[in-house]
Amino acid sequence: MRKPGIDQQRLIATFILGGVLFNYPILSLFNTSSSLLGIPVLYVYVFLAWGFVIGLVAWIAERPR
């Protein structure tokens, strides 16, 4: 049996991870003039990181207790 506050801690950690993923130093790594399948690399990164964070939150929230 899991502790009652473990999901809250995981959600807080996911929030911090999202803050790091969307912070300037990381975003500047992908801010180049190249493209991937005609889409700028920065847009691909933002979309994939956003989807990853949403998926992680959904996975934490929907886990059986």
pLDDT of 45 above 80: yes
Output the pTM of the full model: 0.86
**Of 65 and 51, more confident:** 51
And the tokens for 46?
């933002």
Q: What is the pLDDT of residue 63?
A: 86
* d(C-alpha 25, C-alpha 50), whole Å: 17
Q: Where are the domains of the chain?
A: 6-62
